Amino acid sequence: MTSSNQTLFEKSQQLIPGGVNSPVRAFRSVGGTPIFFKKGLGSRLWDVDGKEYIDYINSWGPMIVGHAHPEVIKAVQDVAENSLSFGAPTGLELEMAELINKLVPSMEQVRLNSSGTEATMSAIRTSRGFTGRDKIVKFEGCYHGHSDGLLVKAGSGLLTFGEPDSGGVPASVAAHTLTLEYNNTQALKDLFAKLGDEIACVIIEPVVGNMNLIVPHVEFLQTLRELCTKHGAVLIFDEVMTGFRVHLGGAQALYNIKPDMTTLGKVIGGGLPVGAFGGRKDIMQCLAPVGKVYQAGTLSGNPVAVTAGLKTLALIQAPNFHVNLAAQTTKLIEGLKAAANEAGVIFNAQSVGGMFGLYFCEHCPTSYHEMMQSNKEHFNHFFHSMLDSGIYLGPSAFEAGFVSAAHSDEDIALTIAAAKKAFQSL
């Protein structure tokens, strides 16, 4: 019997490229048919056939308080009655800016937009306008959205499909992007010694989530901060994924590194499309209408999306929220490691706050090169075994996973039980 997922996917491929609106959803890396969902509640999802799953994607991070949290849903319903959009200022935008500044003090001024891609693209343009320089630096395997200059040795879906660069990106644009190995402090020093005064900005995921979870060496981040200060380059922390998830103040608070600019997304929309970028006031004052750098968006600061974000940010400020989130995530990965060890399978895992990484290799990777040594075939087998057991993980060996506040001890126990079966089958 053909499942509804299969039927929908076959129809979708006729009208939507690859049948999906974001490439990693197509299951091309792991094989099989994508799952089409119709409902989420707490830690659980239900597909179009009514099958229930424990969700460790969490819409790739935003659902930090769980799906369909009643307070978030109620807030969205209430504000939606006043209209879905104005294309004009609202008090909600100011409330969001004040809250972001309170939680992430390095963001002295903030501008809202509609996605993480838009936020990183705009932060880089602002940095170039501020410095008068063209060159930007990024790191192998780090994904900062799909704007042209950032699709050079990027992570996320590009790693999944084995494409280090995207078609459609002019060589003249890519030429301004310099790429270094993540966590390689010496390479960083060498580049700045040679080209430091030509670099407009360095953009980095302070904790990488787009080539699976890669944790930074603190010395690496500290050196990056020192070199940017010395050479007048703008340091941009892409906290679209890590913001409010690894720590209430983001990765910058966790590692005590103050960037010049920060990009946000995901959690600040509570599941609706929102992005934001901000930083030092002198840099942000380069933006129109007060400065020469143009950036705009019809739906920027959309009242419904901002409301979902405000309510989510209110909920995560509860006492010990992040302590408990990190504890549940640690409980998950320790249980998975024990299950793999019991089955004699080469496997490792680690977590930062509510993010985790799973690797079929002996050591937790620290760079793109090391991540590529992980056994992708073992991951694919593990993924499908877990999916059959009702555990929904990211459909790629190169994506981090996410735990929400709704994940209970029972959820963790069921996940570990399913993993025992999966590891034994390997």
Instruction: Judge whether 74 counts as a catalytic residue.
Output: no
Task: Establish whether the linkage from the previous residue to 23 is cis, with ω within 30° of 0.
Answer: no
Instruction: Judge whether 266 counts as a catalytic residue.
Output: yes
Q: Which two tokens stand for residue 7?
A: 């039927």
Q: What whole-number distance in Å separates Cα of residue 224 and Cα of residue 235?
A: 8
Sequence-distant contacts of 94-103: CB under 8 A, at least 24 apart: 95/306, 95/310, 96/268, 96/276, 96/301, 96/306, 96/309, 96/310, 97/278, 99/310, 99/313, 100/264, 100/268, 100/276, 100/278, 101/278, 103/244, 103/248, 103/249, 103/250, 103/313, 103/317
Point out the catalytic residue in the list 153, 266, 311, 331: 266
Instruction: Judge whether 56 counts as a catalytic residue.
Output: no
Q: Which two tokens stand for residue 120?
A: 């990183």
Residue 350 CB contacts under 8 Å (≥ 6 apart), including other chains: 213, 215, 333, 356, 357, 364
Q: What whole-number distance in Å separates Cα of residue 103 and Cα of residue 107?
A: 9
Point out the catalytic residue in the list 47, 53, 56, 143: 143
Point out the catalytic residue in the list 238, 255, 331, 359: 238
The helix (run of H) or strand (run of E) holding residue 44 is strand 44-47
Supply the residues annotated as catalytic: 143, 238, 266
